[in-house]
Amino acid sequence: MGNGSRTSRRTAATSAVDELARSFGERPVDPAEKARLVREVFARVAERYDLMNDLMSAGVHRLWKEALIDWLYPRPGIRLLDLAGGTGDVAFRLLERLDGRATITLCDINPDMLGVGRDRAIDRGWLAEIDWIAGDAEALPFPARRFDAVTIAFGIRNVTRIDRALAEIRRVLKPGGRFLCLEFGRVVVPLLDRLYDAYSFSVVPLLGRVVAGDEESYRYLVESIRRFPDQPTFARLIAEAGFANVAWRNLSTGIAAIHSGWRI
């Protein structure tokens, strides 16, 4: 029975990966086309991305990112890879926490997001501390065992093959290195989950239309959140990628969650 239960969980996790690869929000797509479609979404929303995050979450995403840095507990001199972090939010928070005593590589597949992030870095005086790299999470352009830690915030659900991205993240981590992922999750409080769904599907696309002039992109972003695996299933995927001591912490009743794993 124990083996059967484990097999069932593995099958569910694999099915979740396959389903995500074939979907663009609620729309079925050829997996070969998904990366292009996602790039086009973020090219359209790049200039208003941070403003929309503040509006959609009433600023709470800032607290979630602080919680990510808290759990990472970075030490001076850390070599960090921040994936899908184009506008620089996580990178800037870590540099501020360590007074600039860190080496950060920020990798994003979208040049428009990277451009916004570089402009923000110049405004803040962070120049030599961050390397800006255009790259695909499924085929990272870095040697093995290079980084002390890898973070990704609200980006992994947009990857075509999550299993490949997780394998690449583990590859570029040093032994003893840590992976932390901040992503939307499943609300764990009854009734609140329905209210959250109603808000997401009615208010967020409307904000996208009014503020960013792009309702369609924000409808996709909401749909991609609902398509993403729940916390236990995603934790299983991280463990299957070879990470040890996998755990997660729910934030705001599970609206978001931080997942952690170690390369041992």
154 CB-contact burial (10 Å; exposed 0-12 / middle 13-18 / buried 19+): buried
Condensed to tens digits (0 to 9), the pLDDT of residues 177-230 reads 999 999 999 999 988 999 999 999 999 999 989 988 889 999 999 999 999 999
Residue 147 CA neighbour count, 13 Å, CB half? 28
Split into its structural domains, the chain has a count of: 1
Task: Give the domain extent around 43.
Answer: 2-262
C-beta atoms surrounding 255 within 10 Å: 21
Helices (H) and strands (E) in the chain, counts: 10, 9
Predicted local confidence at residue 86, as pLDDT: 85
Reported as a pLDDT band with limits 50, 70 and 90, residue 50 is confident
Q: Supply the CATH number for residue 25's domain.
A: 3.40.50.150
Residue 125, pLDDT > 70, answer yes
Cβ neighbours of residue 113 closer than 8 Å, sequence gap 6 or more? 42, 46, 49, 86, 87
State the Cα–Cα distance between residues 23 and 210, nearest whole angstrom: 26
The arithmetic mean of pLDDT across residues 71-81, rounded, is 97
Reported as a pLDDT band with limits 50, 70 and 90, residue 49 is confident
C-beta atoms surrounding 165 within 10 Å: 24
The arithmetic mean of pLDDT across residues 109-113, rounded, is 92
C-alpha closest to that of 107 among 87, 134, 129, 80: 134
State the Cα–Cα distance between residues 136 and 152, nearest whole angstrom: 13
CA angle 79, 81, 86 (to 5 degrees): 135
The arithmetic mean of pLDDT across residues 9-36, rounded, is 87
C-beta atoms surrounding 152 within 10 Å: 25
Length of the chain, in residues: 264
Predicted local confidence at residue 48, as pLDDT: 85
State the Cα–Cα distance between residues 137 and 164, nearest whole angstrom: 8
State the Cα–Cα distance between residues 151 and 108, nearest whole angstrom: 12
Q: What is the pTM of this model?
A: 0.92
Q: Considering only 4-8, 101-105, 130-134, 232-236, which range has the smallest mean pLDDT?
A: 4-8
**Across-strand partners of 244?**
262
Predicted local confidence at residue 142, as pLDDT: 98
Reported as a pLDDT band with limits 50, 70 and 90, residue 1 is very low
